[in-house]
Homo-oligomer: A and B are copies of this chain.
Amino acid sequence: MKSKVPIEKKVLGKNDEIAAGIRRRLQKEKIVALNLVSSPGSGKTSLLERTLGALNHTLNLALVAGDVQTENDAQRLIRAGGAKVRAIVTGGACHLDANMVARALEDFDLGGVDILFIENVGNLVCPSSFDLGEDMKVVVMSTTEGDDKPLKYPAMYRRSSVLVINKTDLLGQSDFDVDRAKKNALSINGALTIFEVSCRTGAGLEAWYTWLTALAARKKGGS
């Protein structure tokens, strides 16, 4: 596989250029951009559904939802209402890249938007390498997937700024130890902001909403 390295570097260079363009546009419009990453099924879409339901009267939200196949996530988010939603079907690719996002945003009216959520493909490896022009990556972990995941997929945890531990309603039904999960995550990246939530019961989500609202206000304030 060594022969791939120079090409990948070239591809990433081009990706970073396009990502920088996205970042400039979002910065100019004072839009917070969050790139949501996780394994398949950890609950990124559920977290976004909840967030739209809670914040769409106070914030102007936009979403780009990526999937390898189907527009299921985008459809769920459109049904959740209150946000502008675009789907990206990668058609086999294991991650979003900046070019896909740039194309999705091309004729997307972002006027007045406070937060743009980019829901990445469910994959704990490849999306970690691709800058999409976001302010930060938010990694979602579910309590059913094992508390050792930060150690096994360190790049993703290293490159994320926020960790949302979802499905806390299922704690106690597996060997998952939330303190060990946090300790493992912080051993990889001590700067992580951590939320513990259940998108099923709603527990813990207020802190996430408060954090998002403050983030949007700070951006609009220009800092």
Contacts and interface: CB of A to CB of B under 8 A. Distances in A.
Contact of A40 (B67, B69, B124, B154): B124
A180 interface: no
Residue among A4, A121, A123 with the highest chain B CB neighbour number at 10 A: A123
A11 B7 contact: no
B146 A40 contact: yes
Contacts of A93: 1, 125
Contacts of A1: 11, 93, 97, 99
Contacts of A149: 40-41
Contact of A145 (B11, B41, B126, B154): B41
Report whether over half of chain A's contact residues are helix, strand or loop; otherwise say mixed: loop
A97 to B, nearest CB: 6
A218 interface: no
Given A4-B7, A124-B122, A142-B144, A40 B174 contact: no
A54 interface: no
A223 to B, nearest CB: 35
A58 interface: no
A152 interface: yes
A172 to B, nearest CB: 11
A97 B3 CA distance: 14
Contact of A72 (B10, B151, B154): B151
A92 interface: yes
